[in-house]
Amino acid sequence: MVTFNVNLTDVAILLAIIIRLGIVLFMLPIFNTTGVPSAFKALLVISFAVMLFPVVRQYIRPISFDPAALGPVVMSELIFGVLFALSMLLIISAFQYAGDLISFMMGFGFAQTVAPLGKANDTVVSSFAQLLAIMIFLSINGHLIVIEVLVRSFKTIPVGSFALSAGLFRRMVMLSGMLFVLAIKLAAPVLAVLILTQVGLGLMAKFAPQMNIMATSFPLTITVGMIFFGITLASWGGLGARSFALLFDFLKNFSQ
């Protein structure tokens, strides 16, 4: 008869790894969409935990199965995971926000104004900008840096011991300000052209009131916007790479 001996200490250590990885991975921008099945995310977390177990085992203190002791550990890891994922989401959201600004000026946001109950929260341009941000992130090996920071965090921040400090809060606020700054930098050239286009249409409506500006403005602003959006895409890669470099510095300090 085959018997199995289960080491409860190893099980507790594995559970600690799963708690941290699970909270972080389920909240990361790449995995927090409905397009990624929950079963796949759970399998990914368990696979990562099993692979990291022999690497980080020596740095992890077994957690207690007592609910009174397990509760504070989960809360601490929840705060860690939310801040870790939010810092990445801020940069990717800047691209999405830039796409929303461009879409609104091009006229794609008109559908949300006319039919706000249509549940069309994301426009085509903002979705494309978000995918572009993820592609830039992957192209500079951002996923490898995130995994490295996560593995290092088991040594520098023991499971259940994370606490929000004043310095970390200050850096988080500064990183949050990058969302609007980066979004304006990305969208500014296209917005400037579209504003000039709207001024020109306003002058046409003033001096040629018989023209149907409403019917003319949408094709014109969409065409001009798409042309200059394609022209400015070449600069989005450099801005995105520099922004992600600042994010990686933040994450490395985050885990120290």
pLDDT tens digits for 50-108? 888 888 888 888 777 777 777 888 888 888 888 888 888 888 888 988 988 888 888 77
The domain locations on the chain are: 8-254
Closest of 128, 146, 149 to residue 138, by C-alpha: 146
Calculate Rg over the CA atoms of the chain: 24
Q: How far apart are CA 138 and CA 124, in angstroms?
A: 21
pLDDT at 119 over 60: no
The torsion defined by the Cα of 34, 40, 41 and 42, in degrees rounded to 10, comes to 130
pLDDT of residue 37: 82
Q: Residue 218 above 60 pLDDT? A: yes
Phi, psi values for residue 122, rounded to 5°? -110, 130
- What percent of the chain stands above pLDDT 70? 90
The DSSP annotation for 73-123 comes to HHHHHHHHHHHHHHHHHHHHHHHHHHHHHHHHHHTTTHHHHH-GGG---S-
Q: Tokens for 179?
A: 């969302």
pLDDT band at 255 (very low <50, low <70, confident <90, very high): low
CA gap 161, 204 in Å, rounded: 64
In angstroms, what CA-CA distances link 195 with 24, 106, 199, 219, 222?
41, 10, 6, 15, 12
Rounded distance between C-alpha atoms, residue 174 and residue 90, angstroms: 11
Mean pLDDT over 236-250 rounds to 88
Is residue 61 within 8 A of residue 159, CB to CB? The reply is yes
Q: Is the pLDDT of residue 120 over 60?
A: no
Per-residue pLDDT tens digits for 128-155: 888 899 899 989 988 888 888 888 888 8
Contact 236, 99 (CB under 8 A): no
Residue 78 has a pLDDT of 85
- φ/ψ of 209, rounded to 5, equals -65, -20
- Is pLDDT at 2 greater than 60 in this prediction? no
Q: Rounded mean pLDDT of the chain?
A: 81
pLDDT tens sequence across 174-196: 888 888 888 998 999 999 998 88
- Measured CA to CA, the distance from residue 225 to residue 220 in angstroms comes to 8
For position 6, what pLDDT does the model report?
A: 64
pLDDT confidence bin for 10, thresholds 50/70/90: confident
